[in-house]
Structure 1
Amino acid sequence: MKTFKLVSMQVWDEDELVDVELEDGLIINKEDENSRWLLEAFIDKKHLSFFSNLRKKEIDVPLQVVITKKDNDPAHFITKIASINEFEEHMSVLFLGSIRHKRNEFAEILLSDLVSKGLSGEKLLAEFKGQMKRAQRLTSNKK
């Protein structure tokens, strides 16, 4: 197993990235036969209802995270919420999932989603560029 610092995290919620400010975070490459990763986000308890609802739905939770240094490119994961532990003012959310290795996969998913919403031509291009810049800005503004 290999352990790394989780620097920033965004959660895909429908068609947008939701920035989740971390108090602390850890990511572990389990290096098992299923190539699974454990991600732990220690965050403000104000996010409890958001993550509790995601867990109740038992759906895949796509994450975009920056590992080790804020200047690193974001990594994309498909996860499930394994547990939520509450503390006085904070909470710990444990995710179990796998990394999505294709660097262009985010762009492909976004483009497919925009086309499915009926966008084309200049409107498609403008919306695609805007969302790609927004995603990049979210990852590059982390401390």
Structure 2
Amino acid sequence: MKTFKMISLQIIDGEDLHDIELKDGLIINREDDRNRWLLEAFMKPTYTDVFEQAMNNDKELLIQVVITKKENDPAPFRTKVLKLSEINGSISVLLEGYLNKTKNDYAELLLQHLLDQGMTGDQLLEIFKLNMITKPKLPATKKIEN
């Protein structure tokens, strides 16, 4: 098993991202024959309803997390909530999931996003360079095409 620090967590809803403000987080690659990951996120109770509803309905949550350093590209996961616990006025959410097989190259996702907005030429180059530094949030869910 390998353990990593979870820097950020977002729920993916189509093209929308919902930031979950973390107090702390941990992600474990179980390195088992089923390629499962465990994710534990410690947060304000503000988000209890979202995770409780997903758990009670056995609903899969698509999420993306940044691991280890904020500069890293987000990693997309398909997860289910295993457990919710209240701890000293905060909640701990335990998720189990699978790393999505996606094209997760931030530069390509960003470039495609800018092209989709109709940018070209010098404007495209300047905004691309700026955004590679500021890293605006984009869903890391572009499917690999075979």
Q: Same fold (TM over 0.5)?
A: yes
- Partner of residue 22, structure 1: 22
- Aligned equivalents of 1:78 and 1:26: distance in 2? 16
- Partner of residue 77, structure 1: 77
- Partner of residue 60, structure 1: 60
Contact in 1 for aligned 2:75/2:104 (Cα 8 Å): no
> How many aligned residue pairs are there?
118
Letter in 2 for 1:28: I
Q: TM-score, structure 1 length as denominator? A: 0.72
Q: Aligned-pair distance for 1:55?
A: 1.4
Q: Which has the larger radius of gyration?
A: 2
- Aligned equivalents of 2:88 and 2:70: distance in 1? 28
- Structure 2's unaligned 5+ residue stretches are 110-115, 119-130, 139-146
Deviations 1:20-67 (A, max 9, x none): 011000000000000000000000011111211121221111111000
- Partner of residue 138, structure 1: 137
Q: Which structure: greater helix fraction?
A: 1
Q: Do residues 3 (structure 1) and 6 (structure 2) align? A: no
CA RMSD, 1 decimal = 2.7
Runs of 4+ in 1 over 6 A off after TM superposition: none
Q: Aligned-pair distance for 1:101?
A: 3.3
Q: Aligned-pair distance for 1:15?
A: 4.6
Q: TM-score, structure 2 length as denominator? A: 0.71
15-24 vs 32-41, which moves further = 15-24
44-53 vs 8-17, which moves further = 8-17
- Aligned equivalents of 2:117 and 2:25: distance in 1? 34
- Aligned equivalents of 2:101 and 2:72: distance in 1? 15
- Aligned equivalents of 2:87 and 2:48: distance in 1? 11
Report the identity percentage. Answer: 42
Letter in 2 for 1:88: N
Matches within 5 A, 1:28-39: 28-39=28-39
Deviations 1:121-141 (A, max 9, x none): xxxx349xxxxx8xx5237xx
- Structure 1's unaligned 5+ residue stretches are 109-124, 128-132
